[in-house]
């Protein structure tokens, strides 16, 4: 087994062991085993950085073995600059989520921890798969553990939210399966994604394939107007579920655009680029305004996620290196920042059992350490320079201005809306005098919570102050993708 197989299957193996451990009498052992599994899984991904060659856009750490030989389906894994940081992000967030659920989850602990470990392995599989059918299997399999996480450990309306999540994302993916089967037949019986990139397809076929992929990836991002499932799911999901959903699962759709939609149907991508840009700008501007009027902190951050992911799709479809690289950087930055925002809300919810902004006020007086972390993450959510939230948004805005000044101007307005809804929430929750007895009785974060938030704070500041390692890795792959899209001509 190569490094990528270890990265995929190690967390899944630990998850299966946890399931076998049985009931809640082994809680302490379950927690430590889950933490060990997540740490080992993260450490396995670190040598990928040491061995990654920056100057090439070719797939690296490639593994290939026959899987379903009759249909020429291969177990085929690889990594390039587009998928590299997403693998490390997934493994890192998994460690944080295990720490976050350490004391909070008290029933069915082994199933809870196992669900996250298995989900982590499946998501890494999505980012590494170079075979179309293997990608689809991983892509759809991620729904199962997340469905269980929402449906078992969620809030009062958890069953409704779990079904909504499952049905929206599954229905979107069915058209993608049709597209994959069509490409398989047209390529002479190959599921190899690289082969599909080189196939000459007519204008009509490209348009149909583009929208078949769009159905799955737009729902997953989620883009406006198919974003309505996300706030409901975030509100009902447990804190760890919200963190993983925002930090990694939304990125599966955005990644699909770069790996499938743009290289397989390049002419259709260019033709419909303005359509995607308009949808992205609506997400950035309109959904930012919707976030302002939310009274539930989780809903506010959920709508904020839709707006921030609008930057990602905007960057991809302006077809210049700054925009695409900015979109990728924004994906990683949003992974750190959104996870931190949801985990911060979880810290308050564990104490007060309310997500309503009106239930708080003056938290800084009783939880000063926690308020300092929250201020940092709120500033990153606004896109403050020297934080991770700034880098990707700034790159996308610069790329958008080069593409079209009006598009760049509308994209830049998101920074104002982001500051408005985030800082207004921070002011009402944390600043001013203590407004009720529950806030008066709050205790500051413990060591476990401090470690969890400190790890995310380091990531947010490191990426904001020194983004070069992130941009250098993706440079060659982005240039190669844009060259392929630009040079493609209809047969």
CA gap 273, 43 in Å, rounded: 39
pLDDT reported for residue 490: 45
Residue carrying the six token digits 């009783």? 366
CA gap 280, 296 in Å, rounded: 24
Q: Token pair for residue 318? A: 């302006």
| Contact criterion met (CB below 8 Å) for 421 and 292 | yes
| Contact criterion met (CB below 8 Å) for 54 and 125 | no
Closest CA to 192 of 53, 82, 62, 319: 62
pLDDT reported for residue 127: 92
Q: Token pair for residue 121? A: 């392995």
| Contact criterion met (CB below 8 Å) for 376 and 431 | no
**For the whole model, what pTM was predicted?**
0.89
pLDDT reported for residue 487: 61
Distance of CA 450 to the CA centre of its chain: 23
Q: What is the 3 state secondary structure string of 258-283?
A: HHHHHHHCHHHHHHCHHHHHHHHHHH
- Enumerate helices (H) and strands (E) in the chain, giving the number of each: 24, 2
Each residue's pLDDT, cut to its tens digit, for the chain (491 residues) gives 688 899 999 999 999 988 887 666 677 888 888 899 999 999 999 998 888 888 888 888 888 888 888 887 888 899 988 889 999 999 999 999 998 888 887 778 888 888 999 999 999 999 999 988 899 999 889 888 988 888 888 778 888 888 888 888 887 788 888 888 888 888 887 888 888 888 888 888 888 888 888 888 888 888 888 777 788 888 888 888 888 888 888 888 889 898 888 888 888 888 888 888 888 888 888 888 888 888 888 888 888 888 888 888 898 888 888 888 999 999 999 999 999 999 999 888 888 888 888 888 888 888 889 999 999 999 998 888 888 888 888 888 998 888 888 888 888 887 888 888 888 888 888 888 887 888 788 888 888 889 889 999 999 999 999 988 888 888 888 888 888 777 654 44
| Contact criterion met (CB below 8 Å) for 64 and 131 | no
3-state class of 425 per DSSP? helix
Q: Which residues are CB-contacts of 456 (< 8 A; sequence separation ≥ 6)?
A: 96, 336, 339, 340, 343, 377
Phi-psi label, residue 361: left if phi above 0, alpha if psi -120 to 50, beta otherwise: left
H or E stretch at 63: strand 60-68
The C-alpha R_g of the chain, in whole angstroms, comes to 22
pLDDT reported for residue 25: 67
pLDDT reported for residue 491: 41
| Contact criterion met (CB below 8 Å) for 250 and 220 | yes
Angle between helices 388-403 and 321-352 (to 10 degrees): 140
CA gap 301, 341 in Å, rounded: 7
Q: Token pair for residue 135? A: 């990608």
Domain range list for the chain: 272-484
Closest CA to 326 of 315, 336, 314, 313: 315
CA gap 445, 346 in Å, rounded: 12
């Amino acid at each position: 087994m190569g490094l990528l197989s270890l990265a995929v299957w190690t967390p899944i193996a630990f998850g299966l062991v946890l399931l076998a451990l049985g009931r809640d009498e082994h809680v302490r052992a379950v927690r430590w085993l889950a933490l060990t599994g997540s740490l080992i899984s993260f450490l396995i991904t670190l040598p990928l950085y040491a061995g990654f060659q920056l100057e090439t856009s070719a797939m690296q750490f490639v593994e290939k073995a026959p899987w379903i030989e009759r249909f020429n389906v291969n177990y085929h894994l690889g990594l390039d600059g587009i998928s590299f940081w997403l693998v490390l992000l997934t493994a890192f967030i998994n460690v944080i989520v295990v720490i976050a659920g350490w004391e909070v989850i008290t029933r069915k602990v082994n199933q809870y921890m196992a669900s996250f470990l298995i989900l982590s392995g499946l998501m890494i599989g999505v980012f590494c798969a170079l075979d179309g059918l293997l990608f689809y299997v991983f892509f759809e399999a991620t729904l199962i553990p997340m469905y269980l996480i929402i449906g078992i450990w969620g809030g009062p309306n958890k069953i409704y939210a779990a079904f909504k999540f499952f049905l929206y994302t599954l229905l979107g993916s069915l058209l993608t399966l049709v597209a994959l089967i069509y490409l398989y037949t047209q390529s002479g019986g190959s599921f190899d994604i690289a082969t599909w990139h080189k196939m000459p397809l007519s204008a009509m076929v490209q348009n149909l394939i583009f929208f078949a992929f769009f159905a799955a990836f737009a729902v997953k991002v989620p883009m406006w107007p198919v974003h309505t499932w996300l706030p409901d799911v975030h509100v009902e999901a447990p804190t760890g579920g919200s963190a993983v959903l925002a930090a990694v699962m939304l990125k599966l759709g955005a990644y699909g655009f770069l790996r499938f939609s743009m290289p397989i149907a390049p002419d259709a991508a260019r033709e419909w680029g303005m359509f995607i840009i308009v949808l992205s700008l609506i997400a950035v501007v309109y959904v930012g305004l919707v976030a302002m009027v939310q009274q539930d902190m989780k809903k506010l951050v959920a709508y904020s996620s839709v707006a921030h992911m609008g930057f990602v799709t905007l960057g991809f479809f302006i077809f210049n290196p700054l925009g695409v690289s900015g979109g990728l950087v924004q994906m990683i930055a949003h992974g750190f920042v959104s996870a931190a925002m949801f985990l911060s809300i979880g810290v308050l919810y564990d104490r007060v059992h309310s997500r309503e902004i009106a239930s708080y006020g003056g938290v800084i007086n009783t939880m000063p350490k926690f308020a300092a972390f929250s201020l940092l993450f709120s500033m990153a959510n606004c896109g403050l320079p020297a934080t991770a939230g700034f880098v990707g948004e700034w790159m996308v805005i610069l790329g958008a201005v080069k593409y079209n000044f009006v598009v760049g101007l509308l994209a830049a307005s998101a920074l104002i809306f982001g500051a408005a809804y985030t800082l207004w929430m921070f002011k009402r929750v944390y600043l001013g005098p203590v407004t009720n007895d529950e806030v008066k009785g709050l205790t500051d974060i413990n060591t476990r919570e401090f470690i969890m938030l400190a790890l995310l704070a380091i990531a947010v500041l490191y990426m904001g102050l020194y983004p070069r390692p992130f941009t250098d890795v993706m440079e060659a792959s982005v240039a190669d993708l844009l060259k392929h899209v630009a040079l493609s001509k209809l047969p």
